[in-house]
Amino acid sequence: MFLKRLFEKEERLVVGLMSGTSLDGIDVTLARISGSGSEIRINVLHTFGRAYPDALRDRLLRNSLSDKPASVREISQLNTLLPQLYASAVKEALNEVGMCFSDLDLIGSHGQTIHHVPKPEILIGRPVISTLQIGDGSFLANLTGVPVVCDFRTADMALGGQGAPLVPYLDYVLFSDKSETRLLLNLGGIANISLLPKGGTAREVRAFDTGPANMVVNGLVQYFYGLPWDPDGQYAAAGTVNETLLKHLMSDPYFAAPPPKSTGREVYNATFIERLVSENPHLSPNDLIATATAFTAESIWAGYKTFLARDFPADVLIASGGGIYNQSMMQMLRTQFAPIRVCTLDDLGISSDGKEALCFAVLAHEYLNEVPTNMPSVTGASGSTLLGKLCLPAPK
């Protein structure tokens, strides 16, 4: 009866959890959600963030690299450590609004991406694509006593899709507009862009990863200054963009490859940072950071110009994610996209920090509504499918 009631509820109090490729911490969004698809109604009640401890970030980074050995034992341990941190973060967020676990109907948890292989590789004679997000859902459900929907990417990949990006569903149901064509840009570790044609249908949505957003910039700032990110873009502002290096970075075949496509830390990892530094000894730290920041803006612009602008000229670009606090990055985007208006979700009265976490609250809610939330036009999957796995707590 408990499960039947959960599926039949018209309105649910849902927590969304996101810990992204930037490895900076846990985002929590609490929302009341009802309806479905274009008729969905969302009332965001609270957003909350907790930074990862440095030791955890280091271990996650070490076990997310494609070119260095990872520890299976440590990944196994991290898989059950993370739900403990997620549960603690959710509890703290609920405490701030006078609620507790028993008030919740559902948790949607993305988990922490350890590796993502969207292009087929031959393994024992078969072409294989894969993705791995750790932070076990059953562990989290039993720690909190709340049903958890997790592991959102694999169903799409089973149908030949990239399993990413997933945010375009939220973009479509929340931000589609009848009078203007909108670009929704997420500046996390990786940058992904969603195009919503004015008055368009879900099948007309286009989205893909354009390349790195904060990942390379953060890696360089960590390398040179021991800080997790470039505060307000001040190091980039103090440097000069090296056009030769920028042109070299943009020569990567990824940027010319048509969507669907996705990328991540398996490309823009510590080895990439070390090579960037060692191959450019003539550039100062700030020049490298400025060039990496320009690399983000240039690759986003190139993705739009090459694959979207001809058929769907945009009226506005709406940015969210940690990169909006990098003033150098935002100014470069304004310069690249002029005269297209560039703003942030916060300018529209919506918290940018909680958007991705809200996405997984919505995907979890739609899973219980039995509504497919992958977008084949975005991921390249052969068809629509339900995203996620339902993990239940111990019976009460």
Determine the Cα–Cα distance for residues 164 and 304; give it in Å rounded to an integer.
Answer: 18
Architecture of domain 2-163+354-391: 2-Layer Sandwich (3.30)
> What is the value of pTM for the model shown?
0.89
Contact status, residue 387 vs residue 155, Cβ threshold 8 Å? yes
pLDDT digits (tens, 9 = 90+) for 51-62: 999 899 889 988
Average pLDDT over residues 2-21: 90
Q: Is 95's pLDDT higher than 90?
A: yes
Report, as an integer, the average pLDDT of 299-310: 97
SS3 content of the chain, % helix, strand, coil (to 5): 40, 25, 35
Supply the pLDDT for residue 1.
65
Which part of the chain is CATH 3.30.420.40?
2-163+354-391, 168-348
Q: What is the pLDDT of residue 61?
A: 85
pLDDT level of residue 212 (50, 70, 90 thresholds): very high
Q: What tens digit of pLDDT does each residue of 57-88 get?
A: 889 988 887 667 889 999 999 999 999 999 99
pLDDT tens digits along 125-183: 999 999 999 999 999 999 999 999 999 999 999 999 999 899 999 999 999 999 999 99
Torsion angle, CA of 361/151/147/192, rounded to 10 degrees? -10
**Does residue 25 sit in helix, strand or coil?**
strand
Q: What CATH superfamily classification does 168-348 receive?
A: ATPase, nucleotide binding domain (3.30.420.40)
Q: In DSSP terms, which residues pair with 14 in a beta bridge?
A: 31, 106
Rounded Cα distance, 236 and 66, in Å: 28
Provide the pLDDT for residue 305: 98
Q: Report the interhelical angle of 285-307 vs 327-337 (nearest 10°).
A: 40
Among candidates 86, 84, 95, 98, which has minimal Cα distance to 28? 86
Dihedral angle over CA of 288, 291, 296, 298, nearest 10: -160
User: Can you give the pLDDT at residue 333?
Assistant: 98
